[in-house]
Amino acid sequence: MEMALYANIIIDISHEKLDRPFQYRVPENMKNALKIGMQVLVPFGNGSRMLRGYVIELTKEAEYDVQKIKEIASICEDSVAIETQLIALAFWMKKNYGGTMNQALKTVIPIKQKAAAKEKRRVCLTLVPEEANVRLAEFERKHNVARARLLEALIQEKELPYEVVTQKLHVALSVVQSMEKMGILCVKTEQEYRNPVKGRKTNDCHIVLNKEQQAAVDAVQKDRMAGWFGTYLLYGVTGSGKTEVYMELIAHNIAEGKQAIVLIPEIALTYQTVMRFYDRFGDRISILNSRLSAGERYDQFLRAKRGEIDIMIGPRSALFTPFSNLGLIIIDEEHENSYKSETVPRYHARETAIERAKMAGASVVLGSATPSVESFAKALQGEYQLLRMSKRIAEKPLPACYTVDLREELKMGNRSILSRKLQELMEERLAKGEQIMLFLNRRGMSGFVSCRACGHVMKCPHCDVSLSWHSNGRLVCHYCGYEEPEVSICPECGSKYISGFKAGTQKIEMIVKKRFPKAKVLRMDFDTTRNKEGHEKILSAFANQEADILVGTQMIVKGHDFPNVTLVGVLAADLSLYVSDYRASERTFQLLTQAAGRAGRGEKPGEVVIQTYQPEHYSVVTAAKQDYEAFFRQEMEYRKMLCYPPVWNMLVILSAAREEEAALRAANRMRRVIAALGCEGLFVIGPADAAVAKVNDIYKKVLYLKHEDYGLLVDVKDKLEHFLNGNRDLKDVMVQFDFNPMNGF
């Protein structure tokens, strides 16, 4: 690389004006030493006060009058490397995903907030093992399932973090209290816990890796020893032992005196997973979740910065843990949508992790049984190194999978949403006392209310969507929460033939209850889980086997392990295929594979019924066979044909405003700016209405851009940001950029 002559520098992070970098000349004697992210002293303003700044870019081109550019005074010796790295990362995010520097910095560096320090509590067993086992047998006999589950965990672990008990084991507070009264356990606060001599013993006798696992570990370690820090895609079927590979790599990493970040989608961060990490690494772990307040997150990050922990586990935002000697980033279930941010900057955790790793000298391991099409394509091209694990550890067979053609069902005179095959298998399970999960692809499938006389549909007055009928007799908007009472007379024509179809999952719940009157049915969807408690309550009730059947949406298919579930029914597999989104097939494949994976997690083998109107669709066919690579090949053909990512790159530009006219005008002006750039091979589509064209009285228009080269799209974004900044009359329009969208606007 040629030497940079100028450095773009952000002055003091607490300053409000930091949105703009200032340019300084790099003195001759610094040219070798100066790196992006370093802290420097620079003369600032008229008085040339010496202020600290961070180098965010090195360049050969002067952006100002060369005569007026001042020189960097010195590199700060005590330069806090980690902050500078994160700031450089924020700059990279701003550049690659759009938005302001401030928004990027706020994403990367948590804001210090005064939060009352929460007491950390632990639940500890007070009985000796023999007594505990006696009590356990007693609970099991009496079917005190929650008590038994907690006691069983305590016998194994001696003590558990309180959050693990309530959130991961799904044991209610009342149960903990009653067991405390019985003298089985006690709840200790952090102070008590920290003072005494003890500390959790970690498990030394860990699992011996099999050949495939060892090969994966060796591949990464060999590179690390040679000073090469790459990106690896660990493509391993469910149950092939990926988590053990992660832990082995982390152990190596810690032995080298480095730290590790493990990203796991929150919904998959289950009790079992958490405890495996605790068991292996003891207390040098911290766990983040999205329910933490900004202040709590700040505290966790402070612990990381002080070196009190070596491993941070959490969702997307854990990526910004300020470890100063980061050696490894693991992204489990790398295909998950939740790794893409839905707020500005709309970054993808995978790409951002790779960038952070580059700065820190760390390796990145992406793991999945169904890798994203992007990652698998990159692995095949050699950009990532592909590590395969094709054998399941316990040799548990994959569940048997039946595909039912719903058109045939209708022909045979079955008009129920439950196919004959599914009903038959359900009956069998209920007789055996095993559990069933029924999964509906989308919430509120037919929840709208319409007039049979004139066809009028009840819509939200603020959003471009129909209102959903709820069994409490109200009409609800799922986008903004607007509610109104049910109507008995059509507001358009006065007819009284206006009625609602019951929301999808509710309707199924009713059908199931009618068909199997003796079965206990639980429902989990947007309505029953509106508060977080609801979510946990339903899961714990189902885990406690208080119900035979769980009916739900997407949220029931991920992560949770219910060993007694031996049958999974996917009621309308293809609904997600109708979504107007180039990822529809990929998402359908993943959902079906995951849903199928819920069956037979325990000792008993599982079965899956996929009901669909498109049994011949390749997503359905390949998912039923659990054949990822067959799916990948067909999907890539489709993406190639239509120039979609990962073959090409895509930029969606949202233009939103209170006046529809204003949103449209801004989009049209941007389109003209783009046209004037004269980029060869650039596709521009739009302006068009966003998928939901109005939300909360804000109108949304979108432009779609496609080009092979990501860098060119970034340039277009830069030019548009510049244009928007220079046109004050557009300031009432909110413009956002989304590269290679996952969920769209």
CB nearer to Zn ion: give 52 or 462: 462
Handedness of CA 157, 162, 166, 168 (dihedral sign): negative
Q: Which amino acid is at 48?
A: S
**How far apart are alpha carbons 102 and 91 in whole angstroms?**
10
Decide which of ligand ADP, Zn ion, none touches 286; Cβ closer than 5 to 8 Å per partner kind: none
Task: Return the closest-CA partner of residue 506 out of 438, 595, 575, 453.
Answer: 438
Residues 6 or more apart whose Cβ sits within 8 Å of residue 348: 339, 340, 341, 740, 742
Which segment (89-97, 178-186, 274-282, 480-488) binds Zn ion by CB under 5 A?
480-488
CB atoms within 10 A of CB 526: 17
For 589-636, list the strands marked E by DSSP. 607-612
Strand-pair category, 121-125 with 49-59: unpaired
**What is the smallest separation between the CB atom of 587 and Zn ion, expressed in angstroms?**
24
- DSSP code per residue over 528-556: TTSSHHHHHHHHHHHHTT--SEEEESGGG
Say if residues 8 and 72 touch (Cβ distance below 8 Å).
no
The mark string for 241-270 relative to ligand ADP (x by CB under 6 A, - otherwise) is xxxx--------------------------
> Bridge partners of 348?
340
**What is the smallest separation between the CB atom of 593 and Zn ion, expressed in angstroms?**
33
Among 210, 325, 634, 743, binds ligand ADP (CB under 6 A): 210
Among 454, 676, 677, 692, binds Zn ion (CB under 5 A): 454
> Using the rule CB under 5 A, is 693 a contact of Zn ion?
no
The count of chain residues that interact with Zn ion, using the rule CB under 5 A, is: 15
Which segment (73-81, 478-486, 617-625, 634-642) binds Zn ion by CB under 5 A?
478-486
Say if residues 596 and 623 touch (Cβ distance below 8 Å).
yes
**How far apart are alpha carbons 167 and 160 in whole angstroms?**
12
Could you tell me how many residues make up the chain? 745
The mark string for 492-531 relative to Zn ion (x by CB under 5 A, - otherwise) is xx-x------------------------------------
> Using the rule CB under 6 A, is 207 a contact of ligand ADP?
yes
Which segment (127-135, 445-453, 514-522, 709-717) binds Zn ion by CB under 5 A?
445-453
**What is the smallest separation between the CB atom of 530 and Zn ion, expressed in angstroms?**
15
Say if residues 502 and 531 touch (Cβ distance below 8 Å).
no
Decide which of Zn ion, ligand ADP, none touches 59; Cβ closer than 5 to 8 Å per partner kind: none
Among 96, 107, 166, 240, binds ligand ADP (CB under 6 A): 240
**How far apart are alpha carbons 703 and 712 in whole angstroms?**
16
CB nearer to Zn ion: give 484 or 629: 484
**What is the smallest separation between the CB atom of 203 and ligand ADP, expressed in angstroms?**
11
**How far apart are alpha carbons 146 and 327 in whole angstroms?**
40
Which segment (66-74, 234-242, 426-434, 595-603) binds ligand ADP by CB under 6 A?
234-242
**Residues numbered 391-410 forming contacts with ligand ADP, rule: CB under 6 A:** 393-394
**What is the smallest separation between the CB atom of 437 and ligand ADP, expressed in angstroms?**
19
**How far apart are alpha carbons 116 and 405 in whole angstroms?**
57
**What is the smallest separation between the CB atom of 688 and Zn ion, expressed in angstroms?**
21
**How far apart are alpha carbons 314 and 71 in whole angstroms?**
42
Which segment (386-394, 415-423, 457-465, 636-644) binds Zn ion by CB under 5 A?
457-465
**What is the smallest separation between the CB atom of 273 and ligand ADP, expressed in angstroms?**
8
CB nearer to ligand ADP: give 205 or 255: 205
Say if residues 162 and 188 touch (Cβ distance below 8 Å).
no
Task: Return the closest-CA partner of residue 738 out of 717, 712, 708, 707.
Answer: 717
Residue 125 tokens read as 């067993």
The mark string for 340-379 relative to ligand ADP (x by CB under 6 A, - otherwise) is ----------------------------------------
Residues that bind ligand ADP (CB under 6 A): 207-210, 213, 236, 238-244, 393-394
Residues that bind Zn ion (CB under 5 A): 451, 453-454, 456, 460, 462-463, 477, 479-480, 482, 490, 492-493, 495
